[in-house]
Amino acid sequence: MGVSTVEVLTEAMTRLRDEIVSLRRARVAWRDDLVRRVSALRADFASDRAGAHRAWFGRSGPPPLAARPPQRELRVDAEPEPKAAAAPLPEPQRAAPFKPAASLKAKTHKKH
């Protein structure tokens, strides 16, 4: 006997599924490779940018301790200073009431 329609359909669906799975794996591998390459490019760019910054502006870091301005002391036990009362807000201005436009008469067309 010949091959039934169900067998042909089953084989075709199996091949299609296998193709989908292999293409999905290829897409994931391509994406992982792309992410790796972009990450490497970004790291190279950041390194180049940092080198250019050092070349133009010198060492970038905190200044030596002697050059830093003195920090003010924070006291935990002190009462917070009272804040001055805010000035009251002005009364909002209201817009003028809506006035409809003068009535417009529709133009009538004369028949010839």
Interval 57-108: pLDDT, tens: 877 565 566 656 667 776 666 666 777 777 887 887 877 777 776 665 656 6
Q: Where are the domains of the chain?
A: 32-58
Q: Which two tokens stand for residue 44?
A: 């190279």
Question: Is the pTM above the cut of 0.75?
Answer: no
Residue 1 in this model has a pLDDT that exceeds 60: no
Burial 72-81 (b: 16+ CB within 10 A, else e): eeeeeeeeee
Question: What per-residue confidence (pLDDT) applies to 91?
Answer: 82
Q: Which pLDDT score, from 0 to 100, does residue 82 have?
A: 72
pLDDT of residue 94: 79
| pLDDT tens digits, one per residue of 3-34 | 899 999 999 999 999 999 999 999 999 999 99
